[in-house]
Amino acid sequence: MKFVHIADMHFDSPFTELSNTGNLGDMRRLEQRKVFKKVIDYVKQNQIEYLLIAGDLYEHTYVRKSSIEYINSLFQEIDNTKIFISPGNHDPYIKGSYYQDFQWSKNVQICKNPWEIVEGEKIDIYMTAFTDFYENQSIIEKIQIKNPSKINLLLTHCDLNGNQDENGFSYQPILESKLNTLEFDYVAMGHIHKTNFIPNKKIVYPGSTISFGFDETGEHGMIVGELNGKSLLTNFIKLDDRLFTKYELNVDNFFCKEDLVEKMNNLKLDTMNLYEIILTGNRQFEINTREILNLIEQENILKIKDNTRNCL
C-alpha cells in the first residue's frame, strides 16, 4: 500500500511575526495553499491509496469557512484516495469545530474519539484525536494491536519524549521506547515542526509542510511511503520553496554602522529565502539592531540578532 504522510499545515495561521513585516503573512498563507495543492497533485498523479494527516490541519481559532471549503474541494479531487485525519491540539475535535459541523468529502475519515480503529481486509489504521486543546495523558499507551498479521498503522498527534510546556500543559506525551513496544508497522505523527525523517524509520514526524519561523530552519515537506507486507520504504519530498535561514556575520573589521549596512546590502542571499542575520565577533561601535534593519535594502532580511562582544 502506498501512502503520503503530512502534518501541521495550520491553515489560516496568523503568522504574527511575518504579518508585522509588509505583506509577508498574506504571502505565506498563499504559499500554504500552493504547498497543499502540491500534496494533492502528487497523490493524484501517483495513485496514492492513503493520505494520512497527523493533526493541526487548520487553526481552530482563526480558520475561515472559505479555507475549509478550499481544503475539501481538493479532497474531492482525489476521491479514490482514503483520507484519514487525526485532530491535534490546534484543530481538536470539539463542539463547534469544522470537523464536527462541516460536511466533508465522502473519502475523508476524521477521528472523533480519543482513539479509534478502522479495520480493512489487509490494513488496520489506528487513529487518535485531541478532544481539547491539551492532552496531558497519552491514550496511545492503551492501544493494543488486534491483528498482528495485518499491516498496522498508527496516525497520531503527539509529543514524542515530550515534557510540559512553560504553562504546565502537555500534548499527549509518550516515550519512544514505549511506542516501539506497540509494534506498529508505521507511526505517522504530527506536532513537532521539524522532521525526524530517516529513510525507512517507522516512527516519523514529517515536520510542518511549510516553515513558520526561524526556529524551524531546514527543509519542509511530506513523507511518501510504501508498505509491502511488513517491508517499509519511505522518502522525504521537499514542498516549501522558501527557507528560513540563519546567516552568521562577523563584525571584527567593521568600524561604524555604515560599514555594517554596506556589507549586509552586498550579501549574496537567495532571493527566495528569508534571513535572520546573527552578528558575531568583537564590535567596535554601538549596534542598534532595529536601526540597522531599517537601513538595509535587502527586504528578505527580517531579523538581526546581536551576539557580538563589546570591545569599546
DSSP 207: -
> Mean of the pLDDT values across residues 173-187?
93
Question: CB atoms < 10 A from the CB of 29, how many?
Answer: 19
> Mean of the pLDDT values across residues 130-148?
92
**Residue 123 · residue 150 · CB < 8 Å:** yes
**Whether residues 220 and 269 fall in one domain:** no
**Whether residues 183 and 37 fall in one domain:** yes
Distances 55 to 9, 104, 125, 143, 177 between C-alpha atoms, Å: 8, 16, 15, 19, 22
pLDDT at 18 over 80: no
Binning pLDDT at 50, 70 and 90, where does residue 295 land? very high
pLDDT of 19: 65
> Mean of the pLDDT values across residues 23-29?
88
Binning pLDDT at 50, 70 and 90, where does residue 162 land? confident
Judged by DSSP in three states, 122 sits in coil
* Helices 65-77, 24-45: crossing angle, 10 deg rounding: 20
∠ CA 93-82-43 to the nearest 5 degrees? 110
pLDDT of 75: 98
**Whether residues 57 and 198 fall in one domain:** yes
Closest listed residue to residue 293, CA positions, set 308, 276, 309, 272: 276
Report the percent of the chain where pLDDT is more than 90: 88
**More reliable by pLDDT, 156 or 169:** 156
DSSP 40: H
Last residue of a domain, one of 216, 238, 260: 238
Choice among 17-21, 47-51, 54-58, 296-300 with the minimum mean pLDDT: 17-21
Q: For 230-278, what is each residue's pLDDT tens digit? A: 899 999 999 999 999 999 999 999 999 999 999 999 999 999 999 999 9
pLDDT at 22 over 90: no
Q: What is the largest CA-CA distance in the chain?
A: 74
**Residue 168 · residue 184 · CB < 8 Å:** no
**More reliable by pLDDT, 167 or 275:** 275
pLDDT of 184: 96
**Whether residues 17 and 108 fall in one domain:** yes
Binning pLDDT at 50, 70 and 90, where does residue 163 land? confident
Burial degree of 299 (CB within 10 A; 0-12, 13-18, 19+) = exposed
Task: Report how far residue 17's alpha carbon sits from residue 29's, in angstroms, rounded to the nearest whole number.
Answer: 13
Binning pLDDT at 50, 70 and 90, where does residue 3 land? very high
**Whether residues 254 and 297 fall in one domain:** yes
> Mean of the pLDDT values across residues 288-296?
95
In total, how many domains does the chain have?
Answer: 2
- Arithmetic mean of pLDDT over the chain: 94
**Residue 236 · residue 206 · CB < 8 Å:** yes
**Whether residues 158 and 287 fall in one domain:** no
Q: The pTM is what?
A: 0.94
Closest listed residue to residue 151, CA positions, set 252, 43, 229, 83: 229
pLDDT at 57 over 90: yes
pLDDT of 312: 65
**Residue 203 · residue 187 · CB < 8 Å:** yes
Closest listed residue to residue 81, CA positions, set 57, 107, 59, 99: 107
Q: For 63-74, what is each residue's pLDDT tens digit? A: 999 999 999 999
Closest listed residue to residue 40, CA positions, set 65, 70, 15: 70
Q: For 183-226, what is each residue's pLDDT tens digit? A: 999 999 999 999 999 999 999 999 999 999 999 999 999 999 99
Domain assignment of residue 258, given as a range? 244-310
- CATH code of 121's domain: 3.60.21.10
**Whether residues 303 and 282 fall in one domain:** yes
> Mean of the pLDDT values across residues 19-25?
76
**Whether residues 222 and 297 fall in one domain:** no
**Residue 8 · residue 56 · CB < 8 Å:** yes
Binning pLDDT at 50, 70 and 90, where does residue 24 land? confident
Judged by DSSP in three states, 75 sits in helix
**Whether residues 174 and 281 fall in one domain:** no
- Amino acid 249 reads L
- Amino acid 247 reads Y
pLDDT of 93: 98
Task: Report how far residue 203's alpha carbon sits from residue 174's, in angstroms, rounded to the nearest whole number.
Answer: 12
**Could you identify the residue written with the cell 505583506?**
23
- Amino acid 120 reads G
pLDDT of 179: 93
**Whether residues 234 and 255 fall in one domain:** no
**Whether residues 82 and 210 fall in one domain:** yes
**Whether residues 233 and 267 fall in one domain:** no
Binning pLDDT at 50, 70 and 90, where does residue 169 land? confident
Question: CB atoms < 10 A from the CB of 128, how many?
Answer: 26
Last residue of a domain, one of 238, 263, 288: 238
Last residue of a domain, one of 191, 220, 238: 238
Q: For 88-138, what is each residue's pLDDT tens digit? A: 999 999 999 999 999 999 999 999 999 999 999 999 999 999 999 998 888
